[in-house]
Chains A and B, each alone.
Chain A
Amino acid sequence: MTNQLMMLSLIVIIPFLGMLFVLTSKDDSLSSHNNSSNVAVFTILSNIIMIWQIFAFIKKTQNGMQLQQTIRWLDYLGINFVFAVDNMSLLLILAVHIIILGGIIFIRTEDIKQKAMMAFSLLFLSMTTGLFISNDIFSFFIFYEGMLLPLFMLIGMHGELKKNSLLNGFFIYNLIGCIIFLLGILWVYKNDGIVSMEAFARLSSRKSYIPWIWLAFTIAFMFRIPIWPFHYFIAAINTKLRNPLVFIEVSLLPLSGLYALYRFWPNYIPLEISQHFVWINVIGVLTMLFISLIGFANSDSQYRVFAYSTIYYIMYLLGIFSQNKNIFANLNYALFGFLLVLGGLEVVTAYIRRQELLHASSSQGFLCRARRLSLIYSFLIFSAVGYPISSMFTNNFLILSQLLSVNIHMGAVLALSWLLVSISLISEMLRLKTDNKECFLGKSNDLPKDCFIYMLIIIFMLLMSFIHPLWFVFTS
């Protein structure tokens, strides 16, 4: 049992150790250019194996967090690091590892300084893993805010942002959310002495300040989700990022906000409060419609991928606010498939864009000549738009049916937004499949073998997850 418990802290420590190895690795023109990325790949693969092992110890039929581990910190204050996992957190950790691994594999051949990027990516991975396994509010807060530091460094160094004020604004914006979150935590700790998240979920709204705490937490988490009016900075930065690894990591910020909302969701919300959720629904669907319209009109492939991710994040947010048990039960599988598709789509889109820039050629018709890329790209697009070749189809069906039962109008607008963003992705795919004489990209520019093998593994995982969501779990 002790060995199992140590695994939770190990999956946080391993990426951190990997970061230290990366910092000490030789990565100059004399030695192998890819030392740091090789170390990063090895670290992430090791962690994936550890995560896969942890799955075997989880009891699927048992609800709630399992394999709890406590690391003493401020004992005299009753504040310790408490780690625990369930199916949802493990699936999200696994998905994050896989897509960051993909980003690293696709970026390793680029002529940029990789050491810092790999180091901060591994630090970000460590913080994100810690976030998903945190079972008390203080460690949750530490990892929730700790993941921002490497992110800022990555955006600043490799984001290729032309306006520094954007990054400064993004920093202040997240700082505001952080302050609100911290104040809420401290207030709850001071008044109720609550440290664990289960105890927080059991708080009754009879205490006058509890609804205000819920509001504060909701606002703090919504700062990371691209819903109006909190969408500005995430949208502004995401649409300008050209580095696929950095884009993937910034795209995980909304996931942290969603996960925080899910974890801090109270067991019971009185009707006087829940009747106001309709405003969230209205703002959510309007934001979705707005973003999907821009993605539909915008010809930039990066914006289309961003619009796609925004639509789905808001859909999952609406799913959480619908307080539907079926959605809660399927949210982990939905997010797992979504993250794999998003990560795959981003790296492939970035690869096409990079080939376009390197060879000063139009990308229209590229897929007519690059067979591997065509196969991968077509599969990802079909999965992304919800065709029944991946778990996205099943999860979309379930979530849409539940949201339609809550409010048919909201569901119809959601379906319309979804349709617009899907058509924008399909249009991009059809453009790439329309042959063009000005396209000088050919078979030699096709996906490299390592990238192709990685994408085939992603496709395999998506196909298998369609048949059985936890197909890779072998319990003893």
Chain B
Amino acid sequence: MVINLFIGLILISAASMFITQGKRRKIWSILLLAALCGVSWMVVHDLHIVSDSGFMYQWLPYPKLQADFNISASLHMQQMLTPMLYLLAILIFFNIIDNKESYSLNISVLNLLSFIMIILLASGHDLFQLMFASALLSIICFYIPDDAQSRHKLFIYNFLAEMACFTALSIVYSAVGSISLSTISNYSAKIPHKDFVAFLLLFSFGCKAGLAFFNGHYNALFSQPFNRLCSVFVLSLPFSSLVLLAKLSPLVSGSLFADMVKYWCLLSFMIAGIHTLVADSYRSKIIAVAQMFYALAFYNIYIDASQLYIITPKLLSVMLMCMSIIYYITTPYFQKTIFLKLFQLIGSFIIFNAILIFITGLLPSQQIWLAFFYAAILGMLTRMLMIDEISVNSYFNENRNILGAISTVILSAAIILYTSESRDWLQMIKLCGVFVLFSAVPSNFFAKIIKLNLWNYNIIESVYEKLFVTPLKFFGRILWLAFDFMLIERGVIGSAVSFGEFTSTKLRNLQTDFPFSWMFWLIFGVGCLIVFAGVYTYD
């Protein structure tokens, strides 16, 4: 099933690349979406019939290195890919309906390519395939933002992450002598420098996932339109970090940093959560929401790698829903057609929930989705209540819809966290009440925090600049002046130049006719006489 999907997606991407330069791109985008739905329908109905499918090709017959190109999947992985196919279709749908987006077909092709790389990543059985897919995802993601500064930061951060992962896996290969994941898992306890490997890998995964202190590249995407933000956060680099973490978890568990991961994820969640409150644009809020969800997913997968197949589709779906909510209720025309949009929103929530219940096979007794639905309604009501309270404040006059989304986001996250196993409706109502009050906190408090503008100041980058870059430049200058300039240029080269000058000036005198004069031979003869006499006397 997976190999059919893989080949189908490659063919669609290849065909799309030839027509991306043509006119009527929107029609081609719709055709692409239709083709994707067709392929998905053809493979998905085999979900429960085919238990495992595989394709293996030995693609790197290097001396002492055997790498296999593998596309195979367990049933769990196939179950993970299926809802993600629908997410892919939704992303392409967003690209189509965005009126301002003129490169919708290109972005859709990039989404397809990202999904192909995720299939490669998820079905990899050796380190090379993982690094290959991860690196290509970085290259694909580089072309998603349309802003130069966003691209720069995104690429540099991810390159650092790739290098860290590369170095760590080099150490592992040197110790184990194999790139197969099963071999590495068996020997993970015996790898030398295990803590260093774990540090590098956690840095790499955390950077890709956008955890605290290493999310500057994602925060820099605040100028990107909604569809591009979804493309980055739903099926691209951050998701690859979860897959890599699941695949390479034996290398990071049991290390010195095991406990720190928990606090790091918690801190990331909290910082992102606060960021949703104080961010002054809906795009920054969308980014913060995504970071919250990835912090949650990261921690869950770190604890239990098999959660990748179970929790990931749910979290991605809910994350996309939250992002969509924020976007739709903050669009300018929404206020004018509020009731119409409200009914549209409710209707779309019902459809989303129905699709997810159908796909993920959740029974109607699972209340998580219904809880979220109720939370969304409650959030809308809260927002409507808040309009009258804060409309006097001119700053919030423009952002009241944004603030109104706070309750929805926080409610969604809180309910998912605390009610996933619980069916206590009373507890849920209490929680909802708490957050309604929380949303009604005086707006001046938030206004003061926003004015501090702390969120645009990247502390980590300024510390890194002062702690590493400046000393390294100073050290480089010392090396250049002391060792290279003084020792080599003045010392060695200077001596050679002086010798050259000596030969071209004083020693050149030998070329004069002085050796041919009587005085020279007189002195020479006297010298020989003295030497001869000395030798004769003392011999």
Contact = CB atoms under 8 A, between A and B. Distances in A.
Contact of B156 (A401, A426, A468): A426
A73 interface: no
Interface in B475-495: 475-476, 479-480, 483-484, 487-489, 492-493
Contacts of A435: 148
B17 interface: no
The interface size bin for chain B is: 35 or more
B149 to A, nearest CB: 8
A401 B151 contact: no
Given A290-B476, A400-B167, A430-B148, A229 B135 contact: no
A401 B472 contact: no
A400 B493 contact: no
Contacts, number: 118
Contacts of A326: 63-64
B61 interface: yes
Contacts of A423: 156, 159
Interface string A399-422: 011101100100110010011001
B476 A294 contact: yes
The interface size bin for chain A is: 35 or more
A404 B151 contact: no
Nearest to B138: A387
A329 interface: yes
B109 to A, nearest CB: 16
A62 to B, nearest CB: 14
Contact of A232 (B65, B151, B475, B484): B484
A401 B171 contact: yes
B65 A398 contact: yes
A397 B63 contact: no
A386 interface: yes
B487 A401 contact: no
B63 A329 contact: yes
In this complex, the member of A388, A400, A435 whose beta carbon has the largest number of chain B beta carbons within 10 angstroms is A388
Contacts of B159: 385, 422-423, 426
Contacts of B61: 468
B63 A330 contact: yes
Contacts of A412: 167
Given A326-B63, A387-B135, A397-B173, A229 B167 contact: no
B163 interface: yes
A357 interface: no
A404 B171 contact: yes
Given A290-B476, A385-B159, A402-B174, A333 B148 contact: no
Contacts of A415: 163, 167
A400 B163 CA distance: 12
Contacts of A419: 160, 163
B148 A401 contact: no
A402 B136 CA distance: 25
Nearest to B171: A404
A448 interface: no
B62 A467 contact: no
Given A382-B139, A401-B171, A422 B163 contact: yes
Given A398-B65, A400-B170, A469-B62, A232 B473 contact: no
Contacts of B152: 430, 434
Interface in B144-168: 148, 151-152, 155-156, 159-160, 162-163, 166-167
Contacts of A386: 163, 166
Interface in B485-520: 487-489, 492-493, 496-497, 500
Interface of B: 59-65, 128, 131-132, 135-136, 138-139, 148, 151-152, 155-156, 159-160, 162-163, 166-167, 169-171, 173-175, 192-193, 196, 472-473, 475-476, 479-480, 483-484, 487-489, 492-493, 496-497, 500
Given A401-B170, A411-B170, A419-B163, 8 more contacts: A169-B496, A228-B484, A387-B139, A396-B166, A405-B175, A408-B192, A408-B196, A433-B151
Interface of A: 165, 168-169, 172, 228-229, 232, 286, 290, 293-294, 297, 326, 329-330, 333, 382, 385-389, 393-394, 396-398, 400-402, 404-405, 408, 411-412, 415, 418-419, 422-423, 426, 430, 433-435, 466-469
Q: Give the top 10 A-B pairs by smallest Cβ distance, nearest first.
A: A293-B476, A405-B174, A401-B174, A401-B170, A434-B148, A329-B63, A388-B132, A400-B170, A401-B173, A415-B167
28 contacts: A228-B483, A229-B487, A232-B492, A290-B479, A290-B484, A293-B473, A293-B476, A294-B480, A330-B62, A387-B135, A388-B131, A388-B132, A389-B136, A394-B128, A397-B170, A400-B170, A401-B170, A401-B174, A404-B171, A411-B167, A411-B170, A412-B167, A415-B163, A419-B160, A423-B156, A423-B159, A433-B151, A467-B60
